[in-house]
């Protein structure tokens, strides 16, 4: 533990910077100037007995150094103005998604599939604003792959050594295979303790809400996969007859070794605290490259890392060991109502399905009661007890609503009305959008995984809404200026409806298949120690389903509730947050993304009245809606400026939105142009 000259204590013992490179070939970003990329390793030592660390599961079982502290390390990277004094004195901590950087999506940069790909500046939004963008490892099962940002933590050690216990993996493939790695998303494996374990249990189902069917134990086995060398552990499950594409497999077995995954909370908290409070030098060495240059720190996490932020909020360890606030503002993006295995014994932080995630309740930021189980609580309970609640914006898309859980963050389950809202919180729904921002022209095949849906993917680019949200969060924290009101499907005003009630409406559209049933989150009982980070009942006992609310539809079949981009307010297509799997990848009655990567679709409006009548399309045609292309673009510009007036969009983004609308008009009207 390093004791700084001020007498304070910080858990970062060393921030090792091993590489500095110029960002974007030295491009200058307005008054801020050029940026540089710093890369290295953060080294930690935390006190397992400190009150601020008591929420970390199994920290008391971690090995300790001579000073009684727990040591670990994390990969680190940071984009910083070359002249730090020209920055805006703010950190944006990008909570990496499975080790991959995502924050530059704020600059309209597409997600990179190659972690070694150079960072791109895009439209330079974050740089022109002067942010210091920080990446730090938090996920302990990220493989040591170049370019990925991971966390390196010890395993828990009990009286008899490494812990042994039950674990559950879930698998789904898009093409036939005989083998799955015993890990989620090809992360670090959790080996089988006994390859002959008779109590190990494999089941299969087609829908997350349907009953599971056992697979006979004689039909599958744990194996060592032979490559150059035979693996020392049993890290795979093997079925000679093959796993069927699209079907959902769950495996419960005994493993040995439990990484202390909850140290990810301390890793984020303490590196942010270090950059805010530590001096420039100590012991004759350089310490904090941000010394004296940071006033506020915000964190944004997308999907998996947004769920990590919801768990971080619920755990409530946002103050360091000197009681100093780390994060001043938090944006959990497209997390829905979920958390995850981020603080669990034998936890797999990559798991992302609400039908298997333990301890989902409570969902809301104000006190909530589950009328079925009687459970009570609020997501903010621990933070409110400690007297320090950051400003929080929960942002979601149509995809998380159609998954079945997003509306739970603003629903009073007892009365089925809108839940009360904390004064420190806003809840925003990006209407008609899919989980990840859409690309145009609409993709037929998803670039990151080769998945094909029943219809081309959703093409709404919602990045302008995220940029406005971050600007609003900054003013809220720094000046106290209230951000725009929450906007989401509402039970009180009738814009929220049960998802199953819309299936018949969607079935009226030519060429659209609908699922036989909508999906809902399920009450899961993982045993009496789940609240302590231990699942003693695997698989969980399944209880009653939660209500699944989504936004109602307008006459163009676009969503009414939430923040509506001009794509929806002045439509040339219908956009959804759900898309069924193509028959070529199996299980064609299942939503894409129920086991990851939630997707929506784009269906152009009929271009003419004649085509509308010929196909029986119930939607008014483009020809009947707009007098001309110019009339359409004028309406788009007005809709965009309305969002600017309400502070849901930045005026800087209006021209880009109108330009994209023009290209969509040309594309969907049918001249084939993108001019």
Collapsing DSSP states into helix, strand and coil, what is residue 156?
coil
The arithmetic mean of pLDDT across residues 34-60, rounded, is 97
Secondary structure class of 272 (helix, strand, coil):
helix
Domain final position from 233, 256, 279? 256
Identify the band that residue 7 occupies on the pLDDT scale cut at 50, 70 and 90: very low
Rounded mean pLDDT, 636-652: 98
Q: What is the pLDDT of residues 111-158, one digit of tens each?
A: 777 888 999 999 999 999 999 999 999 999 999 999 999 999 999 999
Q: Is 521 among the domain residues?
A: no
Same domain, 267 and 248: no
Cα R_g (the chain), whole angstroms: 25
CA distance 132 to 82: 10
Q: Are residues 189 and 294 in the same domain?
A: no
Q: For a pLDDT cut of 70, what percent of the chain falls above it?
A: 96
Q: Please tell me whether residues 37 and 77 are part of one structural domain.
A: yes
CB 360 within 8 A of CB 405: yes
Residue 197 has pLDDT above 50, yes or no: yes
Q: How far apart are CA 662 and CA 458, in angstroms?
A: 17
User: Are residue 65 and residue 197 in the same domain, yes or no?
Assistant: no
Quick one: 469 and 327 in the same domain? yes
Going by pLDDT thresholds of 50, 70 and 90, the confidence category of residue 209 is confident
* Residues listed for the chain: 675
Q: What is the pLDDT of residues 601-634, one digit of tens each?
A: 999 999 999 999 999 999 999 999 999 999 999 9
Q: Quick check: is 619 in a domain?
A: no
* 157 beta partners: 162
Instruction: Point out which residues pair with 563 in neighbouring strands.
Output: 430
Give CA–CA dist 552/497, Å, rounded: 6
Of 232, 256, 280, which residue constitutes the final position of a domain? Answer: 256
Are 185 and 312 within one domain? no
Phi, psi of 410 (to 5 degrees): -135, 30
Residues 234-281: tens digit of each pLDDT: 999 999 999 999 999 999 999 999 999 999 999 999 999 999 999 987
- 252 & 264 share domain: no
Mean pLDDT of 632-641: 98
pTM (predicted TM-score) = 0.96
Residue 228 inside a domain? The answer is yes
Residues 347 and 228 in one domain: no
- 497 prior amide bond cis, ω within 30: no
Residue 389 lies in a domain: yes
How many angstroms from the chain centroid is the CA of residue 50? 30
Under a CB-based contact definition with an 8 Å cutoff, are residues 553 and 564 in contact? no
The per-residue pLDDT of the chain, averaged, comes to 94
Sign of CA dihedral 367, 369, 375, 379: negative
Element of type H or E holding 666: helix 654-669
Does any domain span residue 449?
Answer: no
Give the residue among 74, 195, 54, 224 at the shortest CA–CA distance from 135.
Answer: 74
Residues 284 and 172 placed together within one structural domain of the fold: no
DSSP three-state, residue 72 = strand
- Kindly state whether residue 419 falls inside one of the protein's structural domains: yes
Closest alpha carbon to 94 in 40, 133, 127 = 133
Any domain includes 41: yes
In a domain, 614, yes or no: no
HSE of 494, CA atoms in CB hemisphere, 13 A: 1
- Number of other residues whose CB lies within 10 A of the CB of residue 256: 18
**302 DSSP β-pair partners:** 333
Look at residue 186 in the predicted model and tell me its pLDDT.
Answer: 85
Of 517 and 640, more confident: 640
Residues 211 and 284 in one domain: no
User: Can you read off the two tokens belonging to residue 609?
Assistant: 């009245």
Contact 403, 354 (CB under 8 A): yes
Residues contacting 141, CB < 8 A, separation 6+ = 183, 184, 187, 188, 259, 261, 348, 349, 350
Distance CA 533, CA 56 (A): 9
Three-state secondary structure call for residue 386: coil
Q: Which of 195, 229, 256 lies at the terminal end of a domain, its last residue?
A: 256
Model confidence over 280-310: pLDDT tens digits? Answer: 875 555 689 999 999 999 999 999 999 999 9
**pLDDT for the residue 674:** 38
Give the residue among 544, 562, 542 at the shortest CA–CA distance from 552: 562
H runs (alpha helix) in 480-519: 503-506
Q: Can you tell me whether residue 369 is helix, strand or coil?
A: strand
Number of domains in the chain: 2
Q: What dihedral do alpha carbons 566, 567, 573, 576 form, nearest 10°? A: -130
Nearest Cα to Cα of residue 353 among 563, 590, 179, 555:
590
Residue 575 β-bridge partners: 602
- Read off the CATH number of the domain in which 123 is found: 3.40.50
Whether residues 92 and 73 fall in one domain? yes
Which structural domain, as residue segments, surrounds residue 200?
Answer: 164-256
104 and 203 both lie in a single domain = no
Q: Sheet of 221-223: strands edge to edge?
A: 177-181, 236-243, 221-223
What's the first-to-final CA gap in the chain, in angstroms? 60
């Amino acid at each position: 533990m390093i004791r700084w000259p001020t007498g304070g204590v910080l858990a970062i013992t060393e921030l090792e910077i091993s590489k500095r490179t110029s960002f974007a070939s030295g491009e200058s970003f307005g008054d801020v100037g050029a940026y540089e990329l710093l890369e290295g390793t953060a080294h930690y030592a935390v006190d397992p007995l400190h009150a601020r660390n008591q929420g970390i599961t199994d920290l008391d079982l971690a090995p300790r150094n001579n000073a009684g502290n727990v040591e670990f390390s994390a990969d680190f990277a940071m984009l910083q103005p070359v002249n730090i004094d020209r920055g805006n004195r703010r950190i944006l901590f990008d909570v990496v998604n499975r080790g991959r950087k995502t924050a530059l999506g704020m600059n309209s940069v597409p997600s990179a599939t190659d972690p070694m790909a150079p960072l791109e500046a895009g439209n330079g939004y974050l740089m022109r604003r002067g942010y210091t963008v920080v990446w730090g490892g938090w996920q302990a099962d990220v493989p040591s792959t170049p370019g990925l940002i991971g966390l390196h933590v010890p395993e828990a050690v009990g009286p008899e050594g490494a812990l042994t216990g039950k674990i559950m993996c879930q698998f789904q493939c898009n093409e036939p295979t005989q083998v799955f790695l015993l890990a989620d998303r090809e992360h670090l494996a959790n080996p089988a303790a006994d390859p002959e374990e008779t109590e190990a249990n494999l089941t299969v189902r087609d829908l997350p809400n349907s009953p599971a069917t056992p697979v006979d134990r004689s039909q599958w086995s744990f194996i060592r996969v032979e490559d150059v060398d035979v693996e020392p552990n049993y890290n795979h499950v093997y079925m000679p007859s093959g796993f069927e594409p699209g079907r959902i497999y769950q495996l419960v077995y005994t493993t040995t070794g439990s990484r202390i995954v909850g140290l990810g909370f301390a890793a984020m908290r303490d590196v942010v605290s270090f950059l805010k409070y530590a001096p420039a030098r100590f012991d004759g060495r350089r310490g904090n490259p941000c010394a004296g240059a940071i006033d506020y720190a915000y964190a944004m996490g997308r999907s998996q890392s947004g769920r990590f932020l919801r768990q971080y909020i619920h755990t409530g360890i946002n103050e360091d060991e000197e009681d100093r606030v780390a994060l001043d503002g938090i944006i959990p993006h497209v997390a829905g109502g979920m958390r995850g295995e981020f603080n669990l014994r034998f936890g797999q932080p990559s798991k992302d399905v609400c039908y298997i995630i333990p301890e989902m309740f409570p969902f809301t930021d104000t006190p909530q009661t589950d009328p079925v189980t009687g459970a009570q609580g609020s997501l903010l309970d621990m933070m409110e007890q400690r007297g320090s609640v950051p400003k929080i914006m929960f942002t979601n898309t149509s995809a998380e609503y159609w998954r079945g859980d997003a509306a739970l963050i603003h629903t009073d389950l007892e009365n089925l009305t809108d839940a009360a809202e904390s004064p420190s919180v806003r809840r925003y729904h990006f209407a008609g959008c899919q989980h990840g921002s859409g690309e145009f022209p609409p993709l037929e095949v998803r670039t990151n995984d080769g998945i094909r849906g029943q219809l081309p993917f959703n093409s709404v680019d919602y990045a302008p809404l995220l940029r406005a949200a971050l600007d609003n969060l900054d003013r809220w924290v720094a000046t106290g200026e209230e951000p725009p009101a929450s906007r989401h499907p509402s039970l009180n005003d009738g814009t929220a409806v049960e998802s199953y009630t819309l299936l018949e409406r969607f079935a009226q559209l030519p060429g659209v298949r609908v699922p036989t049933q909508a999906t809902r989150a399920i009450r899961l009982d993982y045993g009496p120690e789940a609240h302590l980070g231990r699942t003693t009942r695997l698989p969980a006992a399944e209880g009653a389903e939660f209500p699944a609310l989504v936004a109602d539809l307008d006459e163009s079949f676009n969503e009414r509730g939430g923040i509506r981009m001009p794509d929806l307010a002045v439509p040339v297509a219908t956009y959804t947050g759900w898309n069924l799997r193509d028959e070529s990848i199996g299980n064609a009655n299942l939503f894409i993304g129920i086991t990851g990567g939630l997707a929506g679709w784009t269906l152009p409006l009929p271009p003419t009245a004649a085509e509308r009548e010929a196909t029986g399309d119930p939607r008014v045609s483009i020809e009947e809606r707009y007098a001309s292309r110019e009339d359409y673009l004028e309406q788009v510009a007005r809709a965009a400026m309305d969002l600017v007036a309400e502070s849901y969009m930045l005026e800087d983004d209006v021209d880009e939105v109108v330009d994209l609308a023009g290209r969509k008009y040309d594309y969907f009207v049918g001249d084939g142009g993108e001019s």
